[in-house]
Chains A and B, each alone.
Chain A
């Protein structure tokens, strides 16, 4: 069932040359960039300071860790986004017997021949009504 990972040698690697070229350019730029030594952080727990900065408790950040700004709004937004992503994933994964609204019942108007299970087959039977709702949504 499982097999150890094997190096992918049968892929079409032509397009990948672009990636190598990009690496070459980036490497050249980074190596020839004369950067100063990093400033680094001072004494104190960086993680704690991250927490303070995240929740708009900027005053509690020690001076050694630089001047930061508050990220509370961003934090809340990310929470909402994660929640939405969860709901979206659930909706995408939903089965057809409840009227799956994202199934493209046809590809170009034809019923898809590969009906892998009954619900999909049921959908093709009602393909005319499904296609309309699918077309409305998709």
Chain B
């Protein structure tokens, strides 16, 4: 007995909004990055849910690619956080508020 698609979508929306909440409120750059990961994975859930809905494999393959991209993005993100730490002596994203001039 298959789970109805709306629940999958609700789950995906919930995870996405939790990630969005994290982005909007968190000061620490690492937690910021974690929230971004959450959002990406919420999109993954969505892909898989619709792949099952339509009976098409494309969604599942796509979610694999999304995961790989998320990994790449995190790698670069950690590097940026490192440089941010070096320059601002802390990883508070609210401190880096002015453009370089």
Binding site for B on A (CB under 8 A): 8, 11-13, 15-16, 18-20, 22-23, 26-27, 30-31, 33, 35, 37-42, 46, 49-50, 53-54, 61, 65-69, 71, 74-75, 78, 81-82, 84-86, 88-93, 102-104, 107-108, 112, 114, 116, 120, 138
Contacts and interface: CB of A to CB of B under 8 A. Distances in A.
Nearest to B63: A50
Contacts of B100: 104, 107-108, 138
Interface of B: 2, 4-6, 9-10, 13-14, 16-18, 20-21, 24-27, 52-58, 60-61, 64-65, 68-69, 71-73, 75-76, 78-80, 82-83, 86-87, 89, 100-101
Contacts of B87: 103-104, 107, 112
Contact of A69 (B53, B58, B68, B79): B58
Residue in B16, B80, B83 with the greatest tally of chain A CB atoms within 10 Å: B83
B10 A92 contact: no
Residue in A30, A41, A108 with the greatest tally of chain B CB atoms within 10 Å: A30
A138 to B, nearest CB: 7
